[in-house]
Amino acid sequence: MGPVFATDMGMQVKDVSVFMTMIILGGFLFQYPLGWLSDLIGRRKMIVLSCIFGAGISFLSFNISIDDPMFFFLAACLGGLSLPLYSLCGAHINDYLNPTQMVAAGGALVMLSSLGAAIGSPFTAAAMEAFGPHAFFGCIAMMLASIFVFSLWRLTRRPEGSAKEAGEFVVMSPSPMAASLNIDVSLEEIEAATQKGAKQIQYSFEELVNNL
């Protein structure tokens, strides 16, 4: 919905391209710093901080003119704080998994990510039609705030594991290949995961969800 927002705001094709590039570039540049920090302070805390700052930047963008260079800087920061959330969530889940479960968990993450994209786009489009183009940032802020509230609630339900027990942060793309290319998972473990029956995988995930 980024290009739709930029077009509705009257940006030229060049400016639309710059706007989207800044969002993607921010996500690229923030991946490793956020991952490194999550290794130090914990995945959940990093997710909470990313969401609260991302929501704050979204609200701040309401009052910034698209002609102001600060607008594109904020777009980069917003992309940097929101796009790495997939990798942070993947790293958090994998901290509780054995290598055999990681492939199946990667598939579940892809499904949830795709479901969110399928629901979020028409919801944002409807909000933009009803309230104007700036509802684009409002929807992002609302979605980040909802993740923030859920993550904060989970922090009160179960203490996070120590840094020694957690694996190293790995940048992940929302595709099934991300889990199979993880250097911490051997070929034998991938093959073992593909041979598991549906009931075994379902039981494994029910046990996992209860422990997260």
Q: Express each pLDDT in 79-108 by its tens digit.
A: 999 888 888 888 888 777 766 677 777 777
Q: pTM value?
A: 0.71
Report d(CA 33, CA 169) in Å as an integer. 10
176, two tokens: 């099934």
Q: Between vectors from CA 142 to CA 136 and to CA 145, what angle results, nearest 5°?
A: 140
Burial of 90 per CB tally in 10 Å (0-12, 13-18, 19+): buried
- Rg of the chain over Cα atoms, rounded to whole angstroms, equals 19
For residue 169, the number of C-alpha atoms closer than 13 Å in the C-beta half-sphere is 24
Report d(CA 130, CA 17) in Å as an integer. 25
pLDDT, residue 182, reads: 53
pLDDT, residue 8, reads: 81
DSSP per-residue letters across 170-187: ----SSTHHHHT-TTS-H
